[in-house]
Amino acid sequence: MKTQSLKKAVNCFLIIVLSVHCADIFSQTIPIRLERNKTILPVTIEGVGSLNILFDSVLSFDGLMIYNPDLKDSIILKKEIQVRIPGVGGGEPSIALMDDSATFFVGDVEFKNQKVLVLQNDSYKGFPSDGIIGYSILGHYATEIDYDKNMMRLYDSKKISPDGSWQRIPMYFKNNTIPWIDIFLTAGWFDGSSLGTWIQR
């Protein structure tokens, strides 16, 4: 069987999965839902919700962005100002309303002093989710995701002590603050189908 080893730098959306040894440490629990292989969290803000918010490390600030155009008139921010968000790939910037000291709930967990952006255009019209959140969780908590039980547990990262059963995965950040990992992939033949066809050389 012919195989070849390839080293690929893969742009990954990081999900930190912890050992069951965390079970005796206090945690806060958030219900989750998996849709189209994406993790969706229930969020309530200013009495509006429950919103379907995408959980993704690409959002690199404390807060969330609402991009469902059907919500732009129903979410009233207390200290809103108008801002311009740079367009993706050099496109036209988007107009948004922002409150940089808002409070919202993810499940029953309260997040204070958060930046909330509500887009005012239809750039994301048709998206299956209402918005996106990331750093508010991954930047402050050791995060366990249990897809079998549809729940996320947030642990105080200062109280987590990895033991010998954990496996450490090297990770690094590029200029866009998105986490990357290097994957060593061995490609060969499996059940008559070439795994190599899935690799972009």
The string of pLDDT tens digits covering residues 75-100 is 999 999 999 987 665 677 889 999 99
Cβ atoms of 43 and 104 within 8 Å: the answer is: yes
The pLDDT tens digits of the residues spanning 5-61 come to 333 333 333 344 444 344 455 689 999 999 988 999 999 998 898 999 999 988 889
3: confidence class by pLDDT, cuts 50, 70, 90: very low
pTM listed for this prediction:
0.72
Residue 24: inside a domain: yes
Is residue 90 classed as helix, strand or coil in its secondary structure?
helix
d(CA 27, CA 79): 31
Residue 75: inside a domain: yes
When pLDDT is averaged across residues 149-159 and rounded to a whole number, the result is 90
Lowest mean pLDDT among 121-130, 142-151, 165-174: 165-174
Report H helices in 49-88: none
Within 13 Å of residue 73, how many CA atoms lie on the same side as its CB? 2
Residue 171: inside a domain: no
For the chain, the domain total comes to 1
Beta bridge partners of 194: 189
What are the tokens at 134? Answer: 């990331």
Domain that holds residue 141: 14-165
Residue 9: inside a domain: no
Residue 183: inside a domain: no
Residue type, 172: Y
Task: Check residue 20 and give its pLDDT.
Answer: 39
d(CA 76, CA 103): 12
Residue 190: inside a domain: no
CATH number of the CATH domain containing 82: 2.40.70.10
The pLDDT tens digits of the residues spanning 115-129 come to 999 999 888 888 899
Please give the C-alpha separations between residue 53 and each of 44, 63, 76, 127, 154, in angstroms, as whole numbers. Answer: 10, 12, 18, 11, 17
160: confidence class by pLDDT, cuts 50, 70, 90: confident
Lowest mean pLDDT among 89-93, 150-154, 161-165: 89-93
When pLDDT is averaged across residues 168-179 and rounded to a whole number, the result is 75
What are the tokens at 94? Answer: 């988007």
Residue 50: inside a domain: yes
